[in-house]
Amino acid sequence: MMDLTPLDVRKKKDDLRRTVRGYESTQVDAFLDLVADRLEEVIQEEVRLREQVTMLRERLSGFEERERALNEALVAAQELREEARLQAEKQAGLRLQEAAQQADQLVSDARRSAEDSERALADLHARRASFLRGMRSLLGRFLDEVGYEEARLVGSPEAAGSPPQDDEDGQDGEPESDHA
């Protein structure tokens, strides 16, 4: 099929032979001018439509590119969110583990402190008992010595007996002399 331009139509009217029995030339010329004008409009419309199609394809391509970029961004955001969630879970697990270890350490320290306190208390009880035994022994010796001195003052050295002996600390147990 041959391409037909408005110029081809306009040239053709000069090339057509005139015959006696043919169509009226002014009507043919007017019709050919109309065809040429209409053909020119159709060609311009085709050019405009082709440009519009090209522009729409470019816009579509741009939209498709944006859609692809948005999908990639969405996927990246979902991956980032999932990674953040996993990281948060990991951190929470580590903190729970750390808290459990600290709690175990606190319990262990408290037990050790309680055991130390119990040992210290037992040691204090033992020292108190030892102190009381020593005090009882000392008071007993003082009472014996007071009894001896009292008997000696009353005048009966035989009733007083011998002076008490100190057997715990190695002292001789003799009463101090009276310088009064």
pLDDT digits (tens, 9 = 90+) for 20-68: 667 677 877 888 888 888 888 999 999 999 999 999 999 999 999 999 9
Report yes or no on 52 lying in a domain.
yes
Residue 16 confidence (pLDDT): 66
Out of 68-72, 97-101, 103-107, 167-171, which region has the weakest mean confidence (pLDDT)? 167-171
Average pLDDT of the segment spanning 145-164: 76
Structure tokens at 129: 């008992």
Report yes or no on 180 lying in a domain.
no
Residue 102 confidence (pLDDT): 96
> Is pLDDT of 143 > 60?
yes
Distances (CA, A) of 39 to 5, 9, 10, 28, 44: 7, 9, 11, 16, 9
- Give the chain's mean pLDDT: 84
Residue 14 confidence (pLDDT): 66
Distance of CA 41 to the CA centre of its chain: 70
Select from 28, 51, 55, 59 the least CA-distant residue to 43. 51
Report yes or no on 132 lying in a domain.
yes
Quickly list DSSP for 2-45: ----HHHHHHHHHHSPP-TTS--HHHHHHHHHHHHHHHHHHHHH
Provide the residue range defining the domain that includes 137: 6-160
| Confidence bin at 158 (pLDDT 50/70/90) | low
Q: What percent of the chain has pLDDT over 70?
A: 78
Q: How far apart are CA 68 and CA 31, in angstroms?
A: 54
Specify the DSSP class assigned to residue 169: S
| Confidence bin at 173 (pLDDT 50/70/90) | very low
Number of domains composing the chain: 1
Report yes or no on 166 lying in a domain.
no
Report yes or no on 168 lying in a domain.
no
Give the global pTM.
0.41
In sequence order, what are the residues at sequence separation of 6 or more whose Cβ sits closer than 8 angstroms to the Cβ of residue 100? none
Report yes or no on 179 lying in a domain.
no
> Is pLDDT of 168 > 80?
no
CA 135, 138, 143 angle in degrees (round to 5)?
120
Quickly list DSSP for 63-113: HHHHHHHHHHHHHHHHHHHHHHHHHHHHHHHHHHHHHHHHHHHHHHHHHHH
Report yes or no on 75 lying in a domain.
yes
Report yes or no on 21 lying in a domain.
yes
| Confidence bin at 166 (pLDDT 50/70/90) | low
